[in-house]
Amino acid sequence: MKFAVFDHLDRSGPDLGRQYEDRLRLIELYEWAGFHAYHVAEHHGTPLGSAPSPGLFLAAVAQRTTTLRLGPLAYPLGLYHPLRLMEEICMLDVMSGGRLELGVGRGASPYEAEFFGVEPSTAQERFDEILEIVLKGLGAGRLDHAGKFFTFKNVPLVMQPVQRPHPPLWHVTRSLESADRLASLGCNIALAMPTHDAGKFTARYRAAWAALGRAPEEMPFLGNTRNVVVLDSDRDAVAAARRAFHVWYDSMVHLWRANGVELPRQVSTPDFDEAVDQGYIVAGSPAKVRDRMLRDQFVSGINYSICRFACGDLSFEESARSVRLFAREVMPALMPEDDKDPAHSAIGTLAPGLRWIGAEDLSEVGFLFR
């Protein structure tokens, strides 16, 4: 099991510059705590996303970290010119020393596509063609392509990624029916589903993977996203999670409400308790969160746990405390015994890549762990 962070970077207050800096400090904490990757969303015209240029924000992340992998989750391909996108992908992979994770998708709402003059009904066709071009072009010296939306003739591709032929590919989906197609592509998966539905998806993906004759040990990451709040007591954690959820949900439905449309319930329920029951939110003391995530891990069949520690109006201090407790008291329980590192037994067993922040480290990141 690997652990990662997903971030809408939804607007949390009037001072956006402060939010960016606080988030970069939190991302430094994710690296210290041993998370595998940081994934950031892209949105436009909505407080749901304050990283409308995820590549720009990830360039800053690359300069503040050394081991944490990073990437968009996801680039809405229909909004991009493929040549421009390929060059950005190469830049980020080079700037991060080969740490880029390449997330692609069609986009969360039709309204954002319309802002860019893209007809929503063409979203799937545009996605398919642009993905074909990007995967064909990355690692190649020249690009030739004749399609419905784009034509390239002997275009030189000077920029090259560190990871060949391209950085690891991710796809965001809420569709059970997409499992077979995505297995054939060999994509890593980021789901946004209730726990039981995620279990159906991963079972179908694994069956499709096996039918293709691929080895189980080569299985891509299959992850599901959820909001996670871990505080010292159940009462404090649930209160903070409930408060933040309603702020986050208002951002989630912003464009839909502006157009007089209800947000589809398969995207998100407006009811906090229902979201908890479905596994979209895990909140409580370390013991409660640990037990719930162990159960959800078994039911969902995931091998990649994607957590959102910062959302809504959660303060930097609340999120940092949550990450610290999660790393110390939840993550080790979700790892197989053979993967645990006895080197940290003086404080408690940690997953591979984790190390405790001791007094000698506090001079560098002290305020994060107070």
pLDDT tens-digit map of 58-109: 999 999 999 999 999 999 999 999 999 999 999 999 999 999 999 999 887 8
Bigger pLDDT: 256 or 36?
36
Whole-number Å distance between alpha carbons of 76 and 74: 6
How do strand 69-72 and strand 37-40 relate by DSSP bridges?
A: parallel
- 213-229 confidence digits (pLDDT tens): 999 999 999 999 999 99
- Quote the pLDDT of residue 341: 46
- 134-169 confidence digits (pLDDT tens): 999 998 889 999 999 999 999 999 999 999 999 999
- Quote the pLDDT of residue 68: 98
Whole-number Å distance between alpha carbons of 231 and 245: 16
Q: Give me the residues paired with residue 144 across strands.
A: none
- Fill in the DSSP letter of residue 120: G
| pLDDT at 360 exceeding the cut of 50 | no
Segment among 33-42, 110-119, 153-162, 202-211 with least mean pLDDT:
110-119
Q: What is the mean pLDDT of residues 4-29?
A: 95
Helix or strand (DSSP H, E) at 29: helix 16-33
- Quote the pLDDT of residue 335: 80
Burial class (CB in 10 A: 0-12, 13-18, 19+), 20: middle
Whole-number Å distance between alpha carbons of 27 and 91: 20
Give the sign of the dihedral formed by CA 313, CA 370, CA 60, CA 173. Answer: negative
- Quote the pLDDT of residue 14: 86
Q: pLDDT tier at 235 (50, 70, 90 boundaries)? A: very high
Distance spanning both ends of the chain, measured CA to CA:
28
Segment among 180-184, 226-230, 277-281, 341-345 with least mean pLDDT:
341-345
Domains defined for the chain, CATH in brackets: 2-73+174-369 (3.20.20.30)
Q: Which two tokens stand for residue 318?
A: 């609340």
Q: Which two tokens stand for residue 329?
A: 């008291």
The SS3 assignment for 41 reads coil
- Quote the pLDDT of residue 261: 86
Give the number of other CB atoms < 10 A from CB of residue 132. Answer: 14
- Quote the pLDDT of residue 139: 82
- Quote the pLDDT of residue 339: 55
In contact, 244 and 214? CB cutoff 8 Å: no
| pLDDT at 266 exceeding the cut of 90 | no
In Å, what is the CA distance from 334 to each residue of 39, 69, 166, 225? 21, 21, 30, 16
- 302-332 confidence digits (pLDDT tens): 999 999 999 999 999 999 999 999 999 999 9
* pTM for this prediction: 0.90
Cβ-proximal residues to 65 (8 Å cutoff; 6+ apart), any chain? 27, 28, 31, 38, 99
| pLDDT at 262 exceeding the cut of 90 | no
Closest Cα to residue 60, out of 16, 96, 101?
96
Give the number of other CB atoms < 10 A from CB of residue 212. Answer: 11
In contact, 343 and 15? CB cutoff 8 Å: no
| pLDDT at 370 exceeding the cut of 60 | no
Angle between helices 16-33 and 316-325 (to 10 degrees): 10
